[in-house]
Chains A and B, each alone.
Chain A
Amino acid sequence: MANKEGKSEIVVGKCNSERVRMKYRSSTKIEFLPDELVFNILVRLPAEDIYNDAMLVCWKWYRTIHSRNFIDSHLRHSTPGILIRNFNCKNNDSIIVSMRQDRLVLSEFSYKFAGGGPWSCCNGLIVEYDYSKRSLRITNPAIKRHFAIPQFIRPRAHVIYPSIAYSAASKEYKVVLTYGISDGDSYVPRLAILTVGVDQSWRDVCTPQLSEDMIIIAPFISEGFIHWPLERTHVLTLNVATEVVTKTPLPEGCDSGFKFYLSTGKNLSLFVRCTVFSLEVWDLESESGEWTKMNNIDLESQRSKFEDVYCKKNSRRFVLIPTVWLKCKEVLVFRFQRPTGVFFAYNVRTHGIDWFELDCACHFRNFELHTNSLVWLT
């Protein structure tokens, strides 16, 4: 049944594009604003408003909204938020934390995850696990589409942390899995890739660089690259377009000190803790494998704000953990090492600090950055 449904939907899609061509006749209506000004307004609407309302306004808007140029432009105008699934909540709700007009906004995520995940997000596409099909699927909740991914079948394979990334060169999305083949006491690390909509089955990528630790590490996804920080000494980076894995040593002098990694969306950030309240920050330029030293983050002058919140909940000394970047590296979200449910958003530019509180169960979740977009795979 599901297949039939799927097929009939695709036919509807074709009908529409034919109708669009038929409709390509000159309109005599006087429209209020020139097309390019309407375009500039529509790209700033949330994806759901475009999909549920704007698309129904008239054919011209329908055509505009479905153009590649519009979808790309809308994606560039959308700001990602932190998508957090709360397993403690009885309705299985997820929360999205985003910045709007420089303020933190917590809102309920309209999509309810039925299976496992979200595992990984890229340009509005979410990788989740479909228990009924025993396979992964890609979902864009804003435009209500699922795409089922071929099952991953390997004997004795232990799979964890699927990720999705975009190859701009080929305009393709790829899903990447690290997995281990059980070999007595240890696992032999493997890497499998599936080009969405192209590959019918998973392809193994053979490279000597792989490390057993990759199986237990949640990778970080930057623009066109996937990174696995390993053994406190180097980072393995997969170029999604070329499917080549390279090994980048950490910047000199960074071998000691506690390290954290985050994706900025564009690059990979490395944080080295100097003191409880200060961090050294490095940026990895994925293509060249070069590290650039950024301004240190020093929260010493703000320590009372952290202490105020923390001491209400705990008496022990606290440790701050960089959790996610928001607003293209403008806002760094921290959490305490102990699960308090409190998160701080520190604006690197203005030095302003805001905080929000979630269920303590959210503390250990993956913090995926999700963008509401109209992007789809076909």
Chain B
Amino acid sequence: MAAETGTPTTLTLKSNDDELFSVAESAAILSVTIRNMVEDGCAGGVIPLDNVDGKTLASVITYMNGISAIPADEEKKKSYRDKFLSDKDFETLADMVLAANYLNMSCLMDAVSAKIAQVMEKKSVGWVRRKFGIENDYTPEEEAAVKEEHKWTFEGVETDDDN
């Protein structure tokens, strides 16, 4: 009876650290990467996701289940996304944006990018370098020249002040 109306299909996803997760197909296909695999018929067994670790995948699946449970109401989806990301720290967000990119989930990627930008606001250059794992490759002279750009600059017509 249930089969006729379509039993919800469950997919098994495997993280790169070999954790297995069951997720409803209807939620998992929010990922274009997974959807393509399903459409290509590669989803029979276990779907390996080589670029996502278990911790991040668990989080992404929570998001998939949460957002797919909301009917077509962009307002509610948006507030779910905001709430979902509200308690995540920078490192988790960075893992999420990489996962969202790999899984091709544009809505999640946009939301996480916006959240990271929000976290970065008003932070020092040192903080940003540390969090992004970037070393300062400016020489002191170059850094001074870039800072020089921060002064007010006047361009345009050269009017004669004695005029």
Contacts and interface: CB of A to CB of B under 8 A. Distances in A.
A and B interact physically: yes
Interface of A: 2-3, 5-6, 9-10, 12-13, 15-16, 19, 27, 29-34, 37-38, 40-42, 44-46, 49, 51-59, 61-62, 101, 133, 135, 137-138, 144-151, 197, 200, 350, 377-378
Contact of A133 (B94, B138, B159): B159
Nearest to B93: A41
A149 B104 CA distance: 47
Contacts of B156: 137-138, 146-149, 197
A32 B157 contact: no
B159 A151 contact: yes
B78 to A, nearest CB: 8
Contact of A15 (B97, B121, B131, B145): B145
Contact of B94 (A27, A32, A151, A378): A32
Nearest to A151: B159
B109 interface: yes
Interface string B133-163: 1111110001101111111111111110100
A3 B124 CA distance: 34
Given A29-B134, A33-B97, A57-B129, A9 B153 contact: yes
Contact of B98 (A13, A33, A55, A138): A33
A2 B135 CA distance: 37
A57 B132 contact: yes
A12 B159 contact: no
A16 B120 contact: no
A320 B82 CA distance: 34
B125 interface: yes
B70 interface: no
Nearest to B132: A32
A19 B145 contact: yes
Among B110, B129, B138, B159, chain A packs the most CB atoms within 10 A around the CB of: B159
B109 A40 contact: yes
Closest 10 CB pairs of A and B: A148-B156, A44-B117, A32-B133, A147-B156, A40-B113, A9-B153, A6-B154, A144-B152, A56-B125, A41-B113
Contacts of B117: 41-42, 44-45
Nearest to B109: A40
B114 interface: yes
Contact of A53 (B97, B128, B138): B128
B12 interface: no
B149 to A, nearest CB: 7
B68 interface: no
B85 to A, nearest CB: 12
Bin chain B's interface residue count. Answer: 35 or more
Contacts of B148: 12
Among A19, A27, A40, A149, chain B packs the most CB atoms within 10 A around the CB of: A40
18 contacts: A19-B142, A33-B98, A41-B117, A44-B113, A45-B117, A52-B150, A53-B124, A53-B128, A56-B143, A57-B132, A58-B134, A58-B135, A58-B138, A59-B137, A101-B82, A145-B154, A148-B156, A377-B155
B67 interface: no
Contacts of A31: 132-134
Contacts of B110: 40
A108 to B, nearest CB: 15
Contacts of B151: 9, 144
Interface of B: 75, 82, 94, 97-98, 101, 109-110, 113-114, 116-118, 120-125, 128-129, 131-138, 142-143, 145-159, 161
A6 B153 contact: yes
Contacts of B98: 33, 37
B153 A144 contact: yes
A49 B125 CA distance: 10
Contacts of A59: 137-138, 142
A330 to B, nearest CB: 11
Nearest to B116: A41
A201 B121 CA distance: 42
A2 B101 contact: no
Contact of A51 (B118, B125, B145, B150): B150
A55 B148 CA distance: 12
A169 to B, nearest CB: 23
Given A37-B97, A38-B132, A59-B137, A146 B152 contact: yes
B134 A57 contact: yes
Given A12-B145, A32-B134, A144-B151, A57 B128 contact: yes
B121 A148 contact: no
A2 B157 contact: no
A58 B131 CA distance: 13
Among A10, A13, A37, chain B packs the most CB atoms within 10 A around the CB of: A37
Contacts of B82: 101
B137 A58 contact: yes
A49 B117 CA distance: 10
A162 B82 CA distance: 41
Contacts of A197: 156
